[in-house]
Amino acid sequence: MLRIITPFAVISFLILTLTFCSGENKSSAARDMTGVVEWETLSLGLERSKKEEKPLIIYFYTEWCTYCKQMDSEIFKDREITDFMNNNYINVRVNPEKETGKVTIMGDKITAMELMSFMGGRGFPATVFWDKNGKPVTTFPGYMEVSTFLPILDYMLNECYNDEIRLDDYIKGTVQCGKAKGA
């Protein structure tokens, strides 16, 4: 369990730092905000991800969460992001305060709240990534800017973490998966 939590902590710290320090932030007014994410339920999303061997995003939210509402209006309506998510991931949106049924994950029957806790989610929103083999990779806590979220989608899809590429370097554009930029 400690081996899973340590990468979560490192990646979470980097994301929080990059979210607040990112100097490149396009105004949402300048972006196409007509996108729609194709959301699945938790059980159907897990099933589809396994069957189609596609990576999975699980987005944990609540109705009262201000930053969740901001993610809904700024991130999950951005056409570039929604197109990328719909084309490359199985997308699950779950409110663990309302969805109390159990799903089977890695042989255990657990609730959405238990899954969020197991994945290191301690607040809302929390965005969890699983690889195409049905294995949990990491959790990103809190709100993320478009300029941070889009590179994260690409980083996770290309499994750059397996090449030991630092996420902050990838977001800054100084490296690509497997090679330094310009090499």
Tokens of 108: 């255990």
Distance CA 45, CA 40 (A): 5
Calpha distance 45→158 (Å, rounded): 20
pTM over 0.75: yes
pLDDT tens across 16-28, in order?
433 433 434 444 4
Number of neighbouring beta carbons within 10 Å of residue 48: 16
pLDDT of residue 31: 65
**The residue type at 34:** T
Predicted pLDDT of residue 159: 92
| Prior bond of 125 cis (ω within 30°) | yes
Residue 99 has pLDDT above 80, yes or no: yes
Query: Does residue 10 have a pLDDT over 80?
Result: no
pLDDT value of residue 14: 42
The answer to whether 94 and 59 are in contact (CB under 8 A) is yes
Per the prediction, the chain carries an average pLDDT of: 82
The yes-or-no verdict on residue 9 having pLDDT over 60 is no
Q: Among 130, 123, 57, 66, which Cα is nearest to 96's? A: 123
Tens digit of each residue's pLDDT (9 = 90 or more) over 145-163:
988 999 999 999 999 999 8
Q: Is residue 70's pLDDT more than 50?
A: yes
Residue 142 has pLDDT above 80, yes or no: yes
DSSP helix/strand/coil, 41: coil
The domain 2-22+33-180: what is its CATH number? 3.40.30.10
pLDDT for 129: 96
Q: What does the pLDDT average to over 67-83? A: 94
